Amino acid sequence: MSKNAIVSFKGIKDINAEIALTGSKSESNRALIIGALSKGLVKVNNLSDAADTVILNNILNQVSGHQDTASCLTVDVGHAGTAMRFLTAYLSIANGLFNLTGSGRMKERPVKLLVEALQQLGAGITYAGQSGYPPLNISNDFKQATRNIKIQGNISSQYLSALLMIAPSLPQGLSLEITGELTSRPYLEMTLSMLEEAGIRHRWEGNTIHIENQDFKESNLIVEPDWSAASYWYSIAALADQATVILPNLKEKSLQGDSKIREIMVPFGVRTSSVPNGITLKSGTSVAIQEVLDLKDCPDLAQTIIVCAAAKGLNLSFTGLETLKIKETNRILALQQELAKIGVVLKEENEVYTLNCDQLSFPEKITFATYDDHRMAMAFAPLSLFIKEIEMEDYQVVEKSYPDYWKDLEKAGFTVKEV
């Protein structure tokens, strides 16, 4: 049963904290798949403790220990969307019969383009429920029919990453042509960089990425702390009266596209400086933002940035948000409903999303819904710097990506009490 929590911040709105963030969920999940494909040659350090990563790790251990390949193994990813996409590809070339399923919401999230690409390659995948959606039945009769695949780039970069990670294990390798606009390019570059660290070479020519059949090398993938998790601290620094937040072990040059939060938050008044053991955030004066913010390459930052902008009364416009509609929830609709509670309108017109904060007001007490979405909880919690008491529904949903979020807020002076 889900539980709620009261989040508040009493006293002077000055934040002074050092927060050690968990390993990147995005890097961890890719590292786990690469490690499994390498059959033990690739080791992984500093794995995320996010629920999605724990689930994926447990499933991969379950699959590797499944000896009776003639019987069907049910694999349940729960809410873990990345695990669903990556495992769809991974299990297609694994030895065994699998029923890949997930939560009710997971069964509403499309996988058609990825399934069709794998079927063209030669995978034995059929739908166990509604066509185009999980659950999936996956057989062990993979016989490669082609190496040339076309797939849209504007739906989910995880489809592309899933295909690229299995590419070196395919007898003919893979030539993956990306059609149309590429969304979340940094995530694709992360996948290729991590494969490179594990000894896998690629060629990216025009819109096509080529990976030949080749062996992984013995290597060690070290997972950087999570820049997505860092984004909530940027929001807190932007909303506090004064803030100094130290985030150890984050790299100035990161594989993670969400490291773009450094530059996005400069006009919000947050300055980032590199220190020997990581980075330090300091609050300062906001400046006017004239341009439309394009979040196409970092959609996981959208909720954090939009809620922060709304709280500061900034009537900003955003693009690159279309993939938010097929995440853990319809994140656009969820934002519209929850921002309305503080008098803010998020209007959509021709894929441009604009905030109207003219009626912004902060009540003494408010309840925010989270929609089974970890990022909703973490994006709205910093508003307790303005609202005396926030009741956060299903507050433990943060376990999906940042299990220590509430403990870390308490380190920074917030109060979090379960109700």
Q: Which are the catalytic amino acids?
A: 300
* Residue 314, beta-bridge partner list: none
Beta strands in 132-230 (DSSP E): 136-138, 148-152, 174-179, 203-205, 208-211, 219-222
Q: Count other C-beta atoms under 10 Å from residue 309's C-beta.
A: 23
Query: CA–CA distance from 325 to each of 165, 181, 320 (Å)?
Result: 26, 17, 11
Query: CA–CA distance from 70 to each of 66, 96, 141 (Å)?
Result: 10, 7, 12
Instruction: For residues 402 and 379, give the distance between their C-alpha atoms in angstroms, rounded to a whole number.
Output: 12
Instruction: For residues 155 and 176, give the distance between their C-alpha atoms in angstroms, rounded to a whole number.
Output: 15
Instruction: For residues 152 and 58, give the distance between their C-alpha atoms in angstroms, rounded to a whole number.
Output: 31
Residue 296 in contact with residue 183, Cβ under 8 Å? yes
Q: Quote the distance between the C-alpha of residue 375 and its chain's center.
A: 9
Question: How many CA atoms lie less than 13 Å away from 193 in the CB half-sphere?
Answer: 16
- Contacts of residues 266-271 at CB distance under 8 Å and 24 or more positions apart, as own/partner, are 268/234, 268/238, 268/308, 268/309, 268/312, 269/237, 269/238, 270/234, 270/237, 270/238, 270/243
